Amino acid sequence: MSFNPSHIYTNATPPEILRNGLAAAGGPVSLACSFSLEDVAIIDIAHQAGLTMGVFAIDTGRLNEETYEVAEALVERYRLKIDWHFPRHEAVECLERSEGLFSFRESLDKRHTCCNIRKVEPLSRALKGLNGWVTGMRREQSATRSRLESIEPDALNGGILKINPLIDWSESQLLDYSNERGLPRNRLYSQGYRSIGCAPCTRAVNPGEETRAGRWWWENPEHKECGLHRR
pLDDT of residue 212: 84
Residue 33, in any domain of the structure: yes
> Do 23 and 15 touch, CB atoms closer than 8 A?
no
The whole model's pTM is what?
A: 0.89
> Do 226 and 115 touch, CB atoms closer than 8 A?
yes
Residue 229, in any domain of the structure: no
pLDDT of residue 223: 63
Residue 230, in any domain of the structure: no
> Do 170 and 199 touch, CB atoms closer than 8 A?
no
Residue 13, in any domain of the structure: yes
Residue 46, in any domain of the structure: yes
For residue 87, pLDDT over 60 is answered with: yes
pLDDT of residue 210: 85
> Do 153 and 183 touch, CB atoms closer than 8 A?
no
CA distance 149 to 39: 17
Residue 160, in any domain of the structure: yes
Q: How many domains does the chain have?
A: 1
Residue 91, in any domain of the structure: yes
Please identify every residue annotated as catalytic: 226
Residue 228, in any domain of the structure: no
What backbone torsions phi and psi does residue 158 show, to the nearest 5 degrees? 75, 15
Q: Domain containing 10 — which CATH number?
A: 3.40.50.620
> Do 163 and 29 touch, CB atoms closer than 8 A?
yes
Residue 132: its H or E element: strand 132-134
Domain that holds residue 212: 5-223
Q: Tell me the percentage of the chain whose pLDDT exceeds 90.
A: 82
pLDDT digits (tens, 9 = 90+) for 16-61: 999 999 999 999 999 999 999 999 999 999 999 999 999 999 999 9
